[in-house]
Amino acid sequence: MGTKLVIYVLIFDVVLSLMVGAYGGLGAPSIPPEPSVGQAQAIAGSIIWSAGIPAITLIPSFSIAGSTFPGLTLPSITFFVISFGWLWPIILVFQWIAWVFSSIASVIGYILSIFTGSVSLLSGVPVLGPFLAVFTLLINLVLVWEIIKLIRGYGP
């Protein structure tokens, strides 16, 4: 009986969400674009470590009586440069993980906005609105309880 009840409540929520989407002006969730290899390579290619000595000016350029004398500057010396372009596969994996979590969060936020929007729309209806809102809340609490029962294995 629990599985049927879960399915019926989900169908009720889908119908309610269609009505709320039509009347509440809700749009689809904003799912970010999928990460690409080019993005990961660009990020990894921009990570560069370099060690060295910067240019040092011993005598700055100066002017005396209209004549300009050049300064004395020692050039910079670079000991080594390490590029982390080879890290792009690891960065791509982390980008995919972040994309999955942000997509899930976007969909869950959309579902919550549907639910809160439906409750607020129902409660705004004169006379019957509060009763319909309480009915919706109770049905969804039953849904949560039945899902918990199915997960934990209570009862038949």
- For the chain, 156 residues long, the average pLDDT of each consecutive 10-residue run is 70 71 68 92 93 90 86 91 93 96 88 72 74 77 76 67
User: Model-level pTM?
Assistant: 0.58
Question: CA 31, 33, 34, 39: dihedral to nearest 10 degrees?
Answer: -150
Residue ranges covered by each domain of the chain = 2-34+88-152, 48-83
78, 51 in Cβ contact below 8 A? yes
Tell me the pairing of strands 48-53 and 77-83. Answer: antiparallel
Rounded CA gap, 17 and 12, in Å?
A: 9
Element (H, E) at 51: strand 48-53
